[in-house]
Every structure is written in structure tokens, then in C-alpha cells.
Amino acid sequence: MKTVRKIFKPEYFIFLLIYLVIVGLNKMGLINAYLFQVITIAGINVIMTISLNLVIGITGQFSMGHAGFMSIGAYISAIVSRLAFQVLERTALTDNLILLAAVVAGGIIAAVFGFIIAMPTLKVKGDYLAIVTLGFGEIIRAVWRVVDYTGGALGFSGIPKLTNFTWVFIILLIAIYASRNFIKSSFGRSCLAVRENDIAAEAMGVNCRNYKVLAFVFAAFMAGVAGGLYAHLIQFIQPDNFSAAKSTDYIVYLYAGGVGTISGSIFGAVVLTILPELLRFLNDWRLVIYALLLLYIIIWKPYGLFGGREFKFLNLETIEATDSKLRKWIRRRLRRKKEEAKS
């Protein structure tokens, strides 16, 4: 019975139910094609936000050039699929195999660039690191502008539409569990130690630089995969799609949902991607509501909309939960001392 429970966990049925409900509503016409694509883009944004959380929320390094890794994944995967279809005929099987190969290739190249960028830049901290990563993102965008094969500043068109909601949903689940397992591993614990106090972590034998690079490379790989999915969904990409504003969007999603938590990354990205589209009928007023929501989060929800909590199935304990347990333990100890003093 225990083996069966391990294989068929309750959250698996919840994931299947969510998938079937969204696809079913689309087939019934209750979710039109436009909103269905917005939901798919929300899934890609969740992958990006989870990857950024590994750098900012888990390792404590502030990066403002994450869209640069997404652009590398998008362009490389688009090049791979274009070259592949010059040789192979399009069938259902080849479409899926080429998409898988293209997004993995995009993720690997993004990870390589992540390693190249991380080695020298992670020597600096705080605002300096933010400036360096911002500069990297802009350099990558400038490079794509002068590459003729990808259309330069005019953009890369003619990308086959290979991404669908099913692929995004599957890769999103893989990203969630991969991130969860990384955080629970010894590597993730070391990254958390670096976040809390890198000097103390170094004193305890943690090689801070290596773990910073590891988290950065892993996050770059996930961002590259997300970029590949995005390119084969939109079918047209240009350098301006991956500007500093795009990186800022993902930072907003992360902090709005709850930095340092996977659940907050999911919640923030989904809400802030879909909400502006649902409010589009309000025209410019939707931007006012969006801004008011962000102000509400900043003032009254400092831990994000999800309150620094994690979904139960992730089996992760956040700092806020640990602090709450510590405060309860302190109160119990004080109460016990008062009772002892009275007696």
C-alpha cells in the first residue's frame, strides 16, 4: 500500500485534473483560443520565474539579465528546428522530437553562457551584480540585432509552431520538481547558507563561489528551455522581446508571488500574466488596477501574495514558517519560566 501511495500521490491526480479542466474548457469553447494562448504563456512565465527564484530567492544573488538567457534559448532552438526541418518532413512524431531536441539544445547553450557569465561576475555582490547582469542582457540583445541569419533587428520569422499547452504543462511540472529537489539537496542547502550569510557559510566549509555558479547555470538552463518553448509558440521573435523590461517583469512576478518560494513563483507569474488580459476590457484603467495591486503587495504583503508559504506537496519549509515555529518555541519557553518563577 505504501508503494502504491508513493507512485500515485494525490497531487498527481490534481495536476491531471487541472490539465483536463483547462483543455476541456478550451474544447467546449468556454476558453477561446486567445485566452488559451495566454494561459500557455503564463506557464512559460512560471518556468522563467521559478528559474529566477533559484538565483534571487535561494542563492541571494540579484540578477537583472535573466531575459538574456531566455533569448539565447529562443534563438538557438529556433535555429535548430529550422535546420532540422530542412532535412526532415513534418509529422506529429518529428514535430515533438524536434521540439524536445531544440529546447534542450537552447537550454544547454544558455547554461554554457550562464557559466561563462557567472565565473567572473559572481565575484561582485548586490547592486554591482545587478548592473553587470543587466549589461549582459543588453549585450546579448545587441548581438542578436547584428546576426543576419536570425533576421537581425527585424526579427526571426517563420518559426514552426511546435509548442502547445501539453508540452508547456509537462515541462512546467518537471521544472517544479527539479527546483524542489535541488532546494532539498545538499547543493540547495549550501545555496541557502550562502543566501543567509556567505561569510559564515565559507567558514563552515561551503565553497560559496562554486554554489553560486551552480545555481546560476541551472537557472540559465531552465530559462533557455522556457525561451525555446516561447519561440515555438509565438513563431516570431526579435531582440526587443528580451529587453531589460522583460527581465524586470520576471522580478516583479517573483516578488509579487513570494520570493524564495516555488509556490510564490507559480502564483505570482500566473496572476500577473492572466490578470491584465482579463481586465483588457477596461482599456487603460487595467494598468491602474495592476499598479494598485503592486502597491498593495508592497505595503501589506511584504512576503508576497502567497505569504511566503509553500504548497504541501512540495514538502519545503520556508524561512517564514521556521521563524513562526521559533517564535512559538520562545513563547513556550518564556511561559514555562514564568510558571516556574511563580511556583
pLDDT digits (tens, 9 = 90+) for 121-157: 777 777 778 888 888 888 898 899 988 888 888 888 8
Tens of pLDDT, residue by residue over 157-203, are 888 999 999 999 999 999 999 998 888 888 888 888 888 888 888 88
Q: How confident is the model at residue 288 (pLDDT cuts 50, 70, 90)?
A: confident
Label residue 260 left, alpha or beta by phi (over 0 means left) and psi (-120 to 50 means alpha).
left
Residue type, 210: N
- Asked if residue 70 has pLDDT above 90, the reply is yes
CATH topology for 32-342 is: ABC transporter involved in vitamin B12 uptake, BtuC (1.10.3470)
Q: What is the pLDDT of residue 49?
A: 93
Region 8-24: mean pLDDT is: 85
Q: How confident is the model at residue 11 (pLDDT cuts 50, 70, 90)?
A: confident
| Residue 147 · residue 260 · CB < 8 Å | no
Percent of the chain scoring above 70 in pLDDT: 91
Of the listed ranges 118-127, 179-188, 295-304, 307-316, the one predicted with least confidence: 307-316
Average pLDDT across the chain, whole number: 84
Handedness of CA 125, 128, 131, 135 (dihedral sign): negative
What are the sequence ranges of the domains in the chain? 32-342
Q: How many CB atoms lie within 10 A of CB 141?
A: 21
Tens of pLDDT, residue by residue over 45-69, are 999 999 999 998 888 888 888 899 9
User: DSSP string of 240-257?
Assistant: GGGSHHHHHHHHHHHHHH
Q: What is the pLDDT of residue 198?
A: 80
Q: How confident is the model at residue 320 (pLDDT cuts 50, 70, 90)?
A: low
Burial class (CB in 10 A: 0-12, 13-18, 19+), 307: middle
Q: State pTM to two decimals.
A: 0.88
Return the C-alpha cell found at 294.
Answer: 503592486
End-to-end CA distance of the chain: 51
